[in-house]
Amino acid sequence: MGYPKTSSKKSKADKNIDEKTTTTGNNDEDFQPKTWNPLRLMVMKLSFTELRFTSPLNYEERDGVYNCAYCGLDLFDSDGKYDSGSGWPSFWRSTRDGNVAYKQEWDGRLECLCANKKCSAHLGHVFLDGPLPNKVNKELFDAAPPSDPRGRNPDGYLPRFCVNGASLKFEKKTGDDAFPFAK
């Protein structure tokens, strides 16, 4: 079951989209959502917020990658996860430059979205009250993507990606080179 087509012509911008997805093709017809779960769709496509402390991913402690539940793009990893006490899975860094997009909301909050243009799933919000740089691994801090939001003070708090667990799928780490982006 696919989405209805609105036009068979593609704009120049659509043709030049840098695909950031784990799907096999680059055409709209090739893109297949990875979920039809009603809660996940409410969160990712209607920007609903799941209740605090209800996501099993909030308590996940294994090494692995947190992918977009809609398209499969890798967004966060266990090296950047920490317990913020907020009730939602929290991360202080994303996996790769440009995998997470940002949008300023009407109330001033910074929304984070999956950067795959065919997905653009709502993930949650970013706040500048994460851990201090001296509280995280220096090598991971130095390897954090430059696109991650930062405060004005270089020694100030790192971002807190406060993410709905329903928008993520956890993939357990396997093998020695499972995290090439963290090296």
Pairing of strands 81-82, 110-114: unpaired
* Set 112, 114, 119, 162: catalytic member: 162
How many Å apart are CA 165 and CA 123, to the nearest integer? 8
Annotation marks residue 162 as catalytic = yes
Q: Write out the DSSP string of 7-19.
A: -S---HHHHT---
In sequence order, what are the beta bridge partners of 126?
110, 161
Total residues found in the chain within this entry = 183
Q: Is 108 exposed, middle or buried (0-12, 13-18, 19+ CB in 10 A)?
A: exposed
How many Å apart are CA 145 and CA 148, to the nearest integer? 6
- Identity of residue 138: K
Catalytic residue ranges: 162
